[in-house]
Amino acid sequence: MGFRGDGSTGVRAPRLAGGAGRRPWRVGVAALVVASVLVTAGCSGDKAETPSWQGGAQSDGSTASESPSPQPTLSTVAVTFPAADATDVVAATEIKYDSEDAANTSVEVKDADGAEVKGTLDKDKKVFTPAKTLGWGKTYTVTVNGTPSGDKGGSTTSSFTVMKKPSKLVRVTSFLGDGQTVGVAMPMIVRFGRSVPEKYRAEVQRRMPVTASPVQEGIWHWISPTEVHYRPKTYWKANTKIFYKVQLAGVPMGDGWYGRSDLTVDLKVGRSFVMTVSNKTKKMTVKRDGKVIKTIPVSLGKKSTPSSSGTMVIIEKKEHTVFDTTDELPEGEGYRTKIDYAQRVTWSGQFIHSAPWSEGVQGRSNVSHGCINVSMAMGKWLFSRTMLGDPVTVSGTEEKLKRYNGWTDWDMSWAEYKKGSAI
């Protein structure tokens, strides 16, 4: 009858009975409403009275009750994965649902003891992701509740049971640990106890989020089936804080193998310390936070054993060590020599190190077996200031750095590096 929810009148002129899709009885009701208005107005004199349908006095003195407001109902919801009463569900499962009003739908997951499972809810994708891997062999209940926003009602509950703990579990380790401070070229390095088949790498990679403060663009790059690295587009900004998760417990990794555990790493990047070496000038230029602080004479590899040209990273430091090549070089060419202030930059055995025997030619000619020779004083000076992850770029030598001979992440363009991502 044209009533409004705020109690005001909603009188409308009657429509023609012949209108398309109209029912004849609606015209009669409208006519009756108009008639009532006319009668009330004619009996009111100069004083307007409230129409009876607004709560005004009836002819018998009683008050008319307002029409009840329509009751809101809940939007239709459903758990779409895991299926109801499913068993052998992967422990690292996500919970998916459907809803007519996903933005205002809640999801609650509880274990068999009634304890709530913490997690994150992506309302755009309609996915609930548990914060931790679910328990092996445990049963969980999912409750999805809609909110007042649709013309259908809905709330649903569904249960599922996680698979039993498998016997084939893959060990996952991080090269870096909590609290470490590293150089601006340090890649994040994660290793697996067995090869990860290509078709599983994308899912593994998605479960390894990296957070940097300040924010910097970066990506994971598969060095091999058992090792994956992460680096930003350009060197890490000095003093960056880095946090990464490896959430692989219970994640399928091929051939019936599953991730053994989760891990997290919280570390930071130190100051910027960048070294560049020119074969043309036979000098190393050292910059700290963008400013040149030292120029050091060097001797690189001779032509028969050249140093590699490319961008390398300090991967190991030994204040005192012994270089023994007697098993690697032809008889009579090998040597065993004590070395001070050694800093490894390739797996094949190239180091930055002090070489008192070549100080007379450093800055003028190359006599090493591929290493970057500096004086005893400069070797000590560098060693006391560098850290793992500091970069050194060598240019102008007879040999190019081989891919993955050390942490060669920065010897690739950003476009090349992204090709190593599984996503």
**For the domain that residue 335 is a member of, what is the CATH number?**
2.40.440.10
The pLDDT tens digits of the residues spanning 244-260 come to 999 999 999 999 999 99
Strand partners, 162: 89
Average confidence (pLDDT) over 72-78: 70
- How many Å apart are CA 392 and CA 160, to the nearest integer? 54
Percentage of the chain with pLDDT > 70? 80
CB atoms < 10 A from the CB of 26, how many? 13
Whether 213 and 230 map to the same domain: the answer is yes
Mean pLDDT calculated for residue range 331-352:
90
pLDDT of residue 39: 36
**140 shares a domain with 86:** yes
- Same domain membership, residue 236 and residue 284: no
Residues that are catalytic:
353, 371
Mean pLDDT of the 385-398 span = 98
- The pTM (predicted TM-score) of the whole model is 0.76
Residue 93: CATH number of its domain: 2.60.40.3780
Q: How confident is the model at residue 68 (pLDDT cuts 50, 70, 90)?
A: low
Instruction: Give the model confidence (pLDDT) of 121-149 as tens digits.
Output: 999 999 999 999 999 999 999 999 987 54
> Tell me, what's the pLDDT at 327?
74
Binning pLDDT at 50, 70 and 90, where does residue 102 land? confident
β-strand pairing of 262-269 with 227-232: unpaired
Band of pLDDT at residue 21, cut at 50, 70 and 90:
very low
Give the model confidence (pLDDT) of 297-327 as tens digits. 999 999 999 999 999 999 999 999 998 877 7
Tell me: pLDDT of 355 over 60: yes
pLDDT of res. 9: 41
* Whether 278 and 388 share a structural domain: yes
pLDDT at residue 377 greater than cutoff 80: yes
Q: Note whether 259 and 135 are same-domain residues.
A: no
Single residue among 101, 128, 162 that ends a domain in this structure: 162
358-379 burial, b for 16+ CB within 10 Å, e for fewer?
A: bbebbbeebbbbbbbbbbeebb
CATH number at residue 202: 2.60.40.3710
Mean pLDDT of 349-355: 97
Same domain, 392 and 294: yes
* Share above pLDDT 90 across residues of the chain, in percent, rounded to a whole number: 74
pLDDT beyond 60 at 340: yes
Peptide bond before 297: cis, by omega within 30 degrees of 0? Answer: no
Q: How many domains does the chain have?
A: 4
Same domain, yes or no, for 135 and 248?
no
Q: What is the mean pLDDT of residues 18-26?
A: 40
The residue among 162, 180, 206 that closes a domain is 162
Mean pLDDT of 150-171: 86
Residue 418 included in any domain? no
Q: How would residue 13 be classed by pLDDT, with cut points 50, 70 and 90? A: very low
Residue with tokens 């328990």: 135
The pLDDT score that the predictor gives to residue 329 is 65
Query: Quick one: which of 314, 369, 383 has its CA closest to 344?
Result: 314
Domain containing 384: what range?
273-408
Q: Which residue has better confidence, 2 or 404?
A: 404
Residues 8 and 83 in one domain: no
What pLDDT score does 319 carry? 97
Quick check: is 145 in a domain?
yes
Q: Which two tokens stand for residue 79?
A: 């758990």
The answer to whether residues 312 and 385 belong to one domain is yes
Cα–Cα dist 227/420, whole Å: 11
